[in-house]
Amino acid sequence: MHVDKRQPMQQCAMEFGSSGLVAGVDEAGRGPLAGPVFAAAVIFAPQGRPDGLRDSKILNEATRERLALEIRAQALCWSVAWADREEIDALNILRATMLAMRRALLGLAIGPNHILVDGNRCPDLGGCGLNCSMEAIVGGDALREEISAASILAKTARDAAMRRLDAIYPAYGFAGHKGYGTAAHREALGSKGPCPIHRRSFAPVRACLERAT
């Protein structure tokens, strides 16, 4: 599942040279007890990117939302994708994260020449038709603006999704904690039991299900 966007006046990579298109990739939502895991991929033109790009985790919500709008407007192309709760439980969270990253890269309207992935491993792109190099960078969301931008898009997209899910499952406070295991979330989970978007493979959720049987 993905959404993608590109600037209509920049539909090809020819003017930037054969090795100039770098895609940054990052995820959001590996740790929560509920909801999907999101990933984003971003390619900037050499001279077109917002000021102030940082790791999304150190930015406040208002700054992230502002930068997300600027990234979408200025990026050569971008893509957001996710793996849902069922896929997380079926595959495990690491493989589901790699799947979301793969989907985000497949959603790019322009193929990159090189891919930078935050973390210590890269998604499997076998059969994708992407003919490019790829590297994983630990802490890359603080080191490379392409990855910072991807982290911001993934985080803001996931937060928006969790706010929508809060309207469907209002008893758990998803709009506030976004599915993370806060004290309030764990209390609601214990008293009400898991809802359909809780990750059954995560220990606190699994423990609630075992107590109920």
Q: Where are the domains of the chain?
A: 2-166, 170-212
Instruction: Answer positive or negative: Cα dihedral of 81, 85, 91, 92.
Output: positive
What is d(CA 31, CA 155) in angstroms, rounded to the nearest whole number? 13
- 20 pLDDT tier (thresholds 50, 70, 90): confident
Q: Residue 99 pLDDT more than 90?
A: yes
What is d(CA 91, CA 129) in angstroms, rounded to the nearest whole number? 23
Average pLDDT over residues 168-175: 98
- 10 pLDDT tier (thresholds 50, 70, 90): very low
Please name the CATH architecture into which domain 2-166 falls. 2-Layer Sandwich (3.30)
- pLDDT given at position 106: 95
Pick from 92, 62, 74, 77: nearest CA to 24: 77
- pLDDT tens by residue, 121-168: 999 998 888 889 999 999 999 999 999 999 999 999 999 999 999 999
- pLDDT given at position 109: 95
> Going along the chain, which residue ranges are E strands?
2-6, 22-28, 37-43, 77-83, 114-118, 133-137
Q: Residue 118 pLDDT more than 80?
A: yes
Q: Residue 38 pLDDT more than 80?
A: yes
Look at 40-54, 82-96, 154-168, 189-203 and tell me which has the smallest mean pLDDT.
40-54
Cβ 42 vs Cβ 24: under 8 Å: yes
